[in-house]
Chain A
């Protein structure tokens, strides 16, 4: 009764908090009336500022397009005022129709008043001067195309260009957000309720006997790809898409954290701050649940504390404090190639311009993947990173724990995994070579391919789609390690070390396995642990992140994670203990 009540209240609070969070986008108005926009809009665009101020208050879901329309209108009016109008083009046509080869610099200067327009035309249509044309139509077609470019430059020069407006929309939205959202009170309410809900939901676990109780996991609709799981799936994927592609819609949520961002980093809250905050509190709350669930298993307790610590301290807080001290924000635990921006020009510039500290950070990052990864993986297996330190792994182990049994155990899945994850590693290395070439030579093209396009393809396909939307969004349908298993290039790199040169293995305890399948079922990496255990064979697999859950759920004490001398680690043809192995025939 009590347990049921706690769980229901907890779930209700969590759902309420989630609804409130989502409702901010749909129901809380952005209002520019009486808002000081002078920091964002230069005085020369006062006309536009006035337009924005008189926009009808609307929630973000509508305000983003209202603002965007306002920018478009402003651009059109600027174009009309300072650009080349259709009427002007008609005039040009009259003058050049008989002989378009009369088009030259003199013609430009005589026919266009604005010196900026003159310069742009000379620049853009220089190649058209002194050419012979088959017909006027041919000239006009080319000229009109160039006029579009010129007009775009005019908007950027005299008004607000589209690059700038894309940048400005989220900032304006933040200014227009309601002041009562920015006090911190609503943040406490929404996030506090969510966390409280999670805690209450988890609490009944602490009344149970010590030990792992996986009762009803496969009876539970939210854990077996039924409609509740699909709803969570849609919410998660949706959140990632909005976060990465349409952040302005999250304005009201972002401004909730204004006081915290100012206190920690001394800067304004932005979408990555919101994301980092949500990530951290989700991990902490679900980490708490994980620790209750695995009470009595010290390995799980210590490991869960470790991932929470690294998230709270290293990933979230420290970079903010570094920002507050005018240092480059840096997550000391994030290693290339998971941290794929490490060699990007702007980041390297940042380190090298920061003096000793910057050089240290740059050196640290290189040492981490070049020395730290192979060395620590040799001694402890890839778990030292993947299930003890890593942020992605940390989220998977806490928020994703209820979904770990959904990983695909089939042989086919393993085959796909090996191809996919190593391909991403190759792609990451390839992308980094291109990017580093640009960073250190200043040339963007290598072998005819621009490093900027390579890195933007990688950033979109791997950084956003694979690691974010699929990696986390797919928890409720494909298990909690989709990214780590199929996509993470660092996991692939760590895995190669673990498979071929490491002291880590999961030892099988002689002949004690009863082939029950708990280990395989709860392996988040989809390793068919039982396949090895029932043969008396140690488990040495590149993908194993050493979470230790196979050992924890084993009802017969068959599995133990160990770092030991390499000798005897891989026993391909084991003899099960329990009978005479020799061929005795009496």
Chain B
């Protein structure tokens, strides 16, 4: 009798865990082992901030109860992989154990990207990605509800999703936050100027000391601890904590001498397979060799990790399925403003893209992107309102014209009941400003004729 196939997954984030779940769902035979040095049980990384702020406990951010893994025969190993030996199909663990595999999945995620600033290794400089980052932050900041008696101050380098989260977190402990942002509007590499301006104002209204057009030059310390930062404008800002939120980079160093081909991340094809047949990579650490149109090679977001995991799990179970991501989507929350994006809205309009920006009310605004000539709908950014994912996914897949998409936008309204209905005003403004006539429904045509 042949022993059952052994699949080992390195990393228990959303990508690795989704792979394990989908494999188990489609294959009851395979032996599945998940190794993580971060935590024994899977937790939602995106929810770490809520643990710090006291919205939840760590227990609450574990999406599955602890018995789930045993019941589904997914073995969890709390250890660190030091080395991979593709020829012998073995892994060497930090504990000294070694592990055989038939198929290996690398889902090691990413870590904060540091740019080699002087002083970046000082105590008090950290990012916010892992559970250990959260533990460090907890150790470095005053306990909840105690007030900031030590008058601690924090600098956050980089305005983006994690930067805003970190800022919100620190403020719940009474720590004043200064945020250094390279661009001249907030998250200028992704948001349009109109949007970035408004989000920036929102941060200011929450008491964030937002410094635009400012970069970090150097971190100064005293006795190995952070004392101040010096900005590119030469200003010295005293502080006790420096949060680095300038993006992330894949965790791939441990693969250096293994022969697994890497660039920024681990290079994989559409089947999520690396250069070596029995080794796969998913999530933040994976780099797609030839991304589909409108997608980037490395996309370190939750949803991508999950979708890759779904595909690879099923693939390992023998299904012929490839990773073919559809239209881009993402979401975030900037303090009180929810943000959703469907499709691609560029930071600046150009010859290929026109923007229609419209404000619906306080902290509520939308940008619609479309092609200036073909009027093809390209994407939408929404702030402070909720939009239906299936509606725009369909519109983008079917390459609808912007007029068609906007004409029925009330169908996409996902705001809770009793919220002020915005679609009809929005449509009027759209018609007026863009001169694009919205196609009327058959019923409306009948009524008006």
Contact = CB atoms under 8 A, between A and B. Distances in A.
Given A555-B333, A578-B329, A560 B416 contact: yes
B388 interface: yes
Contacts of A509: 386, 388-389, 414
A557 B65 CA distance: 24
- Most chain A CB within 10 A, of B14, B321, B387, is at B321
A579 B324 contact: yes
Interface in B97-145: 144-145
B53 A215 contact: yes
Contacts of A297: 416
A216 B172 CA distance: 8
Contacts of A531: 63
A298 B419 contact: yes
Nearest to B64: A531
B253 to A, nearest CB: 27
A216 B54 CA distance: 4
Interface in B400-428: 414-420
A530 B46 CA distance: 14
B319 interface: yes
Interface in A404-441: 410-411
Given A216-B53, A218-B55, A511-B303, A521 B418 contact: no
A299 B53 CA distance: 25
The binding surface of chain B is classed by DSSP as loop
Given A209-B205, A556-B338, A584-B322, A214 B55 contact: yes
B65 A579 contact: no
Contacts of A515: 14, 44, 46-47, 63, 302
Given A209-B335, A514-B47, A220 B416 contact: no
- Most chain B CB within 10 A, of A210, A214, A557, is at A557
B206 interface: yes
A585 B311 CA distance: 11
Given A510-B390, A517-B61, A557 B340 contact: yes
B416 A298 contact: yes
Interface string B174-211: 00000000000000000000000000000001100000
B8 interface: no
A210 B361 CA distance: 13
Interface string B322-365: 11111001011101101010000000000000000000000000
Contacts of B61: 516-517
A211 B336 contact: yes
A302 interface: yes
A29 B340 CA distance: 65
A402 to B, nearest CB: 13
A356 B47 CA distance: 60
Interface in A539-586: 548, 551-552, 555-557, 560-561, 576-580, 583-586
Interface in A494-535: 507, 509-512, 514-518, 520-521, 530-531, 534
A217 interface: yes
A298 B419 CA distance: 6
Contacts of B172: 215-216
A87 interface: no
A557 B60 contact: no
A555 B420 CA distance: 20
Given A509-B414, A517-B60, A578 B50 contact: no
Contacts of B206: 209
B303 A578 contact: yes
Given A216-B54, A556-B333, A517 B416 contact: no
Contacts of B435: none
A44 interface: no
B177 to A, nearest CB: 15
B310 A577 contact: no
B56 interface: yes
A576 B144 CA distance: 38
B82 to A, nearest CB: 30
A531 B144 CA distance: 30
Contacts of B205: 209
Contact of B419 (A214, A220, A299): A299
A579 B320 contact: no
A577 B56 contact: no
A2 interface: no
B386 A209 contact: no
Contacts of B14: 515
B375 interface: no
Nearest to B338: A557
Contacts of A296: 336
A141 interface: no
Given A219-B54, A299-B417, A530 B63 contact: yes
Contacts of A410: 65
A290 to B, nearest CB: 15
The list of the 10 closest CB pairs from A to B, nearest first, reads A510-B389, A211-B336, A557-B386, A516-B47, A585-B320, A298-B418, A219-B144, A580-B324, A219-B54, A216-B54
Interface of A: 209-211, 214-220, 296-299, 301-302, 410-411, 507, 509-512, 514-518, 520-521, 530-531, 534, 548, 551-552, 555-557, 560-561, 576-580, 583-586
8 contacts: A220-B54, A511-B307, A514-B302, A517-B60, A578-B325, A579-B324, A584-B324, A585-B320
Given A579-B310, A580-B322, 14 more contacts: A216-B145, A216-B172, A219-B144, A298-B417, A299-B418, A510-B390, A514-B44, A514-B302, A515-B47, A521-B60, A557-B414, A577-B389, A577-B393, A584-B320
